[in-house]
């Protein structure tokens, strides 16, 4: 009788744990969707940077990201305390924890970009071409982020490695903007708005490069979850078939 009772208890605990992990995955999926929406809306703000409705939406979503960050971290801690997870489940929980930190940081970076875009004026002579360059960086960073999240949710290591290899392009984009700013405006007098534009274009490109770095962190966490390998300091081949 005790054996039957023990088996029932074990089955019940396993079901509770699975439901708990499913809910954790739902929370992380929601967090991912909100952050990807933030990327899209910030890109819209790049082309309509005094749109107060967009600003309001971005502010509201940032609050949601912060709340989800706290919720997911708390659930990870509770799961470790309640279920004494085996190695594979522990890797999964730690992946959620690490990637939630990345996503919250991406949210902060987008919020910084929002502040800067709202203060800029691309109609100042010489700055319109930088809107296109930043647009390209936005699109690339979003593509990396989406690919990294797909690698995790779909347990697709190929997408994870492809994301990591895309990081060099993001770095090159940032360096091009920094170089072009120096070439276009070095030694030329600027009014206060021109100086703000220069500083913020440079900063936004840096923040977008940092978002790409966070996508790499997520991809590396996905590889750790799928393959059990820590590749954070490993040199990857140029191509992976």
Which sequence spans correspond to the domains of the chain?
2-227
Identify the burial level of 34 via C-beta atoms within 10 angstroms of its C-beta, where 0-12 means exposed, 13-18 middle and 19 or more buried.
middle
Give how far Cα 66 sits from Cα of 31, 71, 74, 106, 141, Å. Answer: 9, 9, 13, 11, 21
pLDDT tops 90 at residue 171: yes
* pLDDT tens-place string over residues 174-194: 999 999 999 999 988 899 999
* pLDDT tens-place string over residues 8-48: 556 776 788 788 888 999 999 999 999 999 999 999 999 99
Identify which of 2-6, 143-147, 228-232 has the greatest average pLDDT: 143-147
Please tell me the distance from the alpha carbon of residue 191 to that of residue 196, in angstroms, as a whole number: 9
Please tell me the distance from the alpha carbon of residue 25 to that of residue 20, in angstroms, as a whole number: 9
Going 218 to 61 to 63 to 206, the CA torsion angle's sign is: positive
Q: How high is the pLDDT of residue 241?
A: 38
Provide the 10 A C-beta neighbour count for residue 163. 26
Which of the four pLDDT bands, split at 50, 70 and 90, describes residue 235? low
Contact indicator for 163, 126 with CB cutoff of 8 Å: no
For 41-45, 83-87, 152-156, 183-187, which range has the lowest pLDDT when averaged over its residues? 83-87
Contact indicator for 213, 167 with CB cutoff of 8 Å: yes
Query: What values do phi and psi take at 200, rounded to 5?
Result: -80, -35
CATH top-level class for 2-227? Answer: mainly alpha
* pLDDT tens-place string over residues 196-224: 999 999 999 999 999 999 999 999 988 98
């Amino acid at each position: 009788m005790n054996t039957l009772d023990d088996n029932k208890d074990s089955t019940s605990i396993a079901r509770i744990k699975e439901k708990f992990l499913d809910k954790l995955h739902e929370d992380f999926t929601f967090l991912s969707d909100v952050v990807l929406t933030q990327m899209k809306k910030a890109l819209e703000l790049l082309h309509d940077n005094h749109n107060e409705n967009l600003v309001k939406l971005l502010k509201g979503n940032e609050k949601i990201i912060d709340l989800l960050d706290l919720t997911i971290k708390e659930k990870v801690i509770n799961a470790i305390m309640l279920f004494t997870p085996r190695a594979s489940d522990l890797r999964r929980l730690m992946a959620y924890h690490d990637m939630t930190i990345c996503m919250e940081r991406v949210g902060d970076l987008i919020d910084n970009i929002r502040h800067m875009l709202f203060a800029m004026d691309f109609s100042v002579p010489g700055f319109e071409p930088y809107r296109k360059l930043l647009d390209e960086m936005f699109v690339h960073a979003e593509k990396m982020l989406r690919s990294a999240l797909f690698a995790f949710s779909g347990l697709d290591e190929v997408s994870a490695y492809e994301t990591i290899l895309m990081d060099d392009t993001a770095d090159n984009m940032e360096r091009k903007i920094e170089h072009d700013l120096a070439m276009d405006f070095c030694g030329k007098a600027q009014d206060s708005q021109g100086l703000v534009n220069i500083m913020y274009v440079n900063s936004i490109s840096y923040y977008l490069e940092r978002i790409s770095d966070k996508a790499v962190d997520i991809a590396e966490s996905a590889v750790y979850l799928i393959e059990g390998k820590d590749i954070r300091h490993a040199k990857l081949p140029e191509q992976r078939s």
